[in-house]
Homo-oligomer: A and B are copies of this chain.
Amino acid sequence: MTELRTLKVALLGCGNVGAQVARILIDDADALAARTGARLELTGIAVRTIDAPRDVELPRELFTTDADTLVKDADLVIELMGGIEPARSLILAAIQNGACVVTGNKALLAQDGPTLYEAADKAGVQLSYEAAVAGAIPILRPIRDSLSGDRITRVLGIVNGTTNFILDQMDTTGAQFSDALAEAQRLGYAEADPTADVGGLDAAAKAAILASLSFHTRFDLENVHCEGITGVTAADIAAAKDAGFVIKLLAIAEKLTAADGSEGVSVRVHPTLLPREHPLAAVHGAFNAVFVEAENAGELMFYGQGAGGTPTASAVLGDLVSAARRIVLGGPAQTETTIGKVPALPIDAVNTSYYIGLDVADQPGVLAKIAQLFAEHGVSIEIMRQTIHRDADSNVESAELRIVTHRATEAALAATVQAVKGLDVINSVTSVLRVEGV
CB within 8 Å of B: which residues of A?
20, 24, 28, 31-32, 34-35, 130, 136-138, 141-142, 145-151, 216, 279, 282, 294, 296-305, 308, 310-311, 313-322, 325-326, 329-332, 337, 339
Of the A-B pairs whose beta carbons lie under 8 Å apart in the complex, a sample of 20, sorted by A's number, is A35-B149, A136-B300, A138-B142, A138-B145, A147-B314, A147-B318, A148-B318, A148-B325, A149-B316, A149-B321, A296-B313, A296-B317, A297-B304, A297-B311, A299-B305, A300-B305, A301-B303, A329-B331, A329-B332, A330-B332
Answer whether A34 and B296 are a contact pair too, CB < 8 Å, given A138-B142, A279-B303, A322-B148.
Answer: no
> Which residue of chain B lies nearest to A32 when distances are taken between CB atoms in the complex?
B149
Which B residues are in CB contact (< 8 Å) with A150? 314, 317-318
User: Which 3 interchain pairs have the tightest Cβ spacing?
Assistant: A331-B331, A149-B317, A138-B146
Bound state CA distance, A331 and B313, in angstroms?
Answer: 27
Q: Which among A130, A149, A304, A322 has the greatest number of chain B C-beta atoms within 10 A?
A: A149
B151 touches A147 (CB 8 A): no
Q: Which of B141, B310, B317, B319 contacts A141 (CB 8 A)?
A: B141
- List 8 additional A-B contacts (Cβ < 8 Å) besides A147-B318, A297-B304: A20-B296, A34-B339, A35-B339, A136-B300, A147-B314, A148-B325, A296-B311, A300-B302
Bound state CA distance, A299 and B316, in angstroms?
Answer: 16
Which B residues are in CB contact (< 8 Å) with A332? 329-331
B298 touches A145 (CB 8 A): no
A315 touches B24 (CB 8 A): no
Which B residues are in CB contact (< 8 Å) with A151? 28, 31
Q: Which of B35, B130, B315, B330 contacts A337 (CB 8 A)?
A: B35
B297 touches A300 (CB 8 A): no
Q: Which among A24, A150, A303, A329 has the greatest number of chain B C-beta atoms within 10 A?
A: A150
Bound state CA distance, A146 and B319, in angstroms?
Answer: 7
Bound state CA distance, A335 and B422, in angstroms?
Answer: 67
A296 touches B314 (CB 8 A): yes
CB distance from A313 to the nearest CB of B (A): 6
Which B residues are in CB contact (< 8 Å) with A301? 301-304
Answer whether A315 and B339 are a contact pair too, CB < 8 Å, given A141-B141, A146-B130, A322-B145.
Answer: no
Which B residues are in CB contact (< 8 Å) with A298? 136, 304-305, 308, 310-311
Which B residues are in CB contact (< 8 Å) with A32? 149
Which B residues are in CB contact (< 8 Å) with A308? 298
A146 touches B315 (CB 8 A): yes
> Which residue of chain B lies nearest to A329 when distances are taken between CB atoms in the complex?
B332
Which B residues are in CB contact (< 8 Å) with A305? 297-300
Q: Which of B31, B300, B326 contacts A138 (CB 8 A)?
A: B300
Which B residues are in CB contact (< 8 Å) with A316? 149
Which B residues are in CB contact (< 8 Å) with A145? 138, 141, 318, 322
> Which residue of chain B lies nearest to A325 when distances are taken between CB atoms in the complex?
B148
Q: Which of B137, B146, B279 contacts A318 (CB 8 A)?
A: B146
B331 touches A148 (CB 8 A): no
CB distance from A260 to the nearest CB of B (A): 24
B300 touches A304 (CB 8 A): yes
> Which residue of chain B lies nearest to A142 when distances are taken between CB atoms in the complex?
B138
Which B residues are in CB contact (< 8 Å) with A216? 35
Q: Which among A298, A314, A337 has the greatest number of chain B C-beta atoms within 10 A?
A: A314
> Which residue of chain B lies nearest to A137 when distances are taken between CB atoms in the complex?
B300
Bound state CA distance, A330 and B333, in angstroms?
Answer: 10
CB distance from A209 to the nearest CB of B (A): 16
CB distance from A296 to the nearest CB of B (A): 4
Bound state CA distance, A330 and B330, in angstroms?
Answer: 9
Which B residues are in CB contact (< 8 Å) with A302? 300-303
A296 touches B310 (CB 8 A): yes
A314 touches B138 (CB 8 A): no
Bound state CA distance, A218 and B2, in angstroms?
Answer: 26
Which B residues are in CB contact (< 8 Å) with A296? 20, 24, 136, 310-311, 313-314, 317
> Which residue of chain B lies nearest to A316 when distances are taken between CB atoms in the complex?
B149
Which B residues are in CB contact (< 8 Å) with A311? 296-298
